[in-house]
Amino acid sequence: MQWQFSNDAPIYTQLIQQVKVGIVTGAFPPGERLPSVRDLATEAGVNPNTMQRALAELERDGLVYSQRTAGRFVTEDNTMINTAKRSLAERHVKTFLEAMLRLGFQRDEIIDLISKELGEEEADHASA
């Protein structure tokens, strides 16, 4: 897992996002046990208390659940994972749109650009 942090947001919120991404992309598969707080913190190079706080938040959301002694597990509830996936996607789209509008693009121009880009990618795939 790649951990990357920006400078403008609290670290624990960024950790929540990144663990979510890990769950959605299957780096942390459903039903699997998560590494310990200490191991995750060491891997991400962050403070263990901050990691703990992020995981506690994820637990409140239900994406992660803990079993007394065995540790923390990723949820097996696929609808919940899909919801998380969708909300992550919506965030990306939102920031993308904001950036495009700031550049002065109109809605139909944006759609045009996207379909063109997707078409080119398809062509690339076909030729490859």
Query: C-alpha angle with apex 90: 54 to 79, nearest 5 degrees?
Result: 70
Instruction: Build a one-symbol-per-residue string for 1-40: x at contacts with another protein by CB under 8 A, - elsewhere.
Output: ----x-xxxxxx-------------------------x--
- Give, as one character, the DSSP assignment of residue 71: E
In whole angstroms, what is the distance from residue 37 CA to residue 72 CA? 9
| Smallest gap from residue 11 Cβ to another protein (A) | 6
Site membership for another protein, residue 42 (CB under 8 A): yes
H helix intervals, 29-106: 37-44, 48-61, 78-103
The kind and range of the H/E element at 117 are helix 107-127
Judged by CB under 8 A, the residue of 16, 41, 55, 58 near another protein is 41
| Smallest gap from residue 46 Cβ to another protein (A) | 5
What residues have CB less than 8 Å from 77, skipping those under 6 apart? Answer: 30, 62
The smaller minimum CB distance to another protein, of residues 38 and 116, is found at 38
The smaller minimum CB distance to another protein, of residues 57 and 77, is found at 57
- Positions touching another protein (CB under 8 A) are 5, 7-12, 38, 41-42, 44-50
